[in-house]
Homo-oligomer: A and B are copies of this chain.
Amino acid sequence: MNAEIICVGTEILLGNIVNTNAAFIASRLSGLGIACYNQCVVGDNMDRVIAQLAVSSERSDIVILCGGLGPTEDDMTKEAVAAFTKRRLIEDAESRRAIERFFENRGKTPTDNNWKQALLPRGAKAVPNANGTAPGIILETRKCKYILLPGPPVEMEAMFDTGIVPYLKELGNGTIFSQTVKIVGIGESRAESMIIDLIDGQTNPTIATYAKTSEVHIRVTASAESEKEAAKLVKPVVRELKKRFGGNVYSTKEEVTFEQSLVELLLSNDMTITCVESCTGGLVSAALVGVPGASDVFKSSFVTYSNKAKRKLAGVSKDTLDRYTAVSAQTAQEMAEGGAKAAGSDVCISVTGLAGPGGGTRKKPVGLVYIGCFVRGKVRVEEYHFSGDRNNVRMLAAKNALILARECILEYIDNK
């Protein structure tokens, strides 16, 4: 069984928005073990949607269309599917009531063109939309199954998980089960070389590595008659991966982000954390605060962008700044020490570097970043050279600061 994704929207063709919908749907399909060989994008244009439907229906069992279900004139995905499959559009009573309720709950009145959204091609099934007025649509024909989804990600993603995933699971033969081993501190090619024997010998389960920003995810996927059997095939491989990557594995749970695992590590060791940031300007703190419940371990932090602020807020000495400059291991060290003291925290991350574009010299080029980490009295400072533009350097610095903090905390626990 294979599927393909057609995103409908002139704004994607103009490059005004990035097509995150295709990535979301693709990752869900791959999680379900449904092959997807094609993605495409066409504009809000009846003839071109129909032309694409003709191509896609030939090569795919399931055609997923996303976008163009809105109330206005230029939304015509549903109309194109109806025309291509030669079906009339008929009002669906339940969808009409859902639209009425949607507006009632918001104390607003629908406009005339909203009722257009309750129309379905004859024989199709509506999929409820918890976050908007356009229902999704599933239409099965002899040749092909069509799934129509609204374009706004907040509507599409919720609908996909609640209404489409169960439908696709039922279509499949057998089940697949996958688990991801998430790693930091090792690059993708090194990680791959460490398990090349497992990858080469793979059939069921399969093993695949994916590089994220300063992370590597290794997905182990097995298929079997039941989920339980598939899980049984995955388990020993995950165990072997955990053995090989040891302390570099931060989680094997789908929903746990790296930042979340760090907050949990702090929490379970009864530690609080703060930051003193220069070039990252708040990105490290913001990443920690992004974790729900961070307030248990994070209370406050400082952005010390000027030298004066580094002295005043983090107690960096004038002598250190004069002798070694702001971008130095010495300054990073004093920032980490001073920040921990000022905030009364067990752990303090410091970041100081040259994000560019200007300000680089031969000795201290753009991309040079010092990251310090204080853990209960002991400080470690590391030197990094990041490439890319200002944004990228800052993003990589923030991520690697959190990774260094994890390492330092684990070291502390080991030596305790």
Contact = CB atoms under 8 A, between A and B. Distances in A.
A48 B37 contact: yes
A360 interface: no
Nearest to A24: B15
A15 B36 CA distance: 10
Given A18-B23, A281-B288, A301-B305, 13 more contacts: A11-B210, A12-B39, A13-B30, A13-B39, A14-B27, A15-B27, A38-B48, A275-B303, A281-B286, A281-B289, A282-B303, A299-B308, A303-B303
A294 interface: yes
Contacts of A340: none
A305 B309 contact: no
B298 A290 contact: no
Contacts of A285: 281-282, 303
Contacts of A313: 300
A372 interface: no
A308 B300 CA distance: 9
Contacts of A210: 11, 16
B306 A289 contact: no
Interface string A274-317: 01010111111110111011110011111111101100110000
Contact of A15 (B30, B286, B288, B343): B30
A19 interface: yes
Nearest to A59: B51
A224 interface: no
B306 A303 contact: no
A38 B40 contact: yes
A358 to B, nearest CB: 7
A22 interface: yes
Interface of A: 11-20, 22-30, 36-43, 45, 48, 52, 55, 154, 208, 210, 275, 277, 279-286, 288-290, 292-295, 298-306, 308-309, 312-313, 343, 356-358, 388, 390-391, 394
Contacts of A45: 37
Contacts of A42: 37-38
A11 B18 CA distance: 16
A388 B154 contact: yes
Contact of A282 (B283, B299, B305): B283
A282 B286 contact: yes
B43 A37 contact: yes
A126 to B, nearest CB: 24
A41 B38 contact: yes
A306 B300 contact: yes
Contacts of A18: 18-20, 23
Nearest to A208: B14
Contacts of A394: 286, 289-290
Contacts of A208: 14
Contacts of A288: 281
A24 B17 CA distance: 9
A155 to B, nearest CB: 12
Contacts of A305: 289, 294-295, 298-301
A343 B309 CA distance: 8
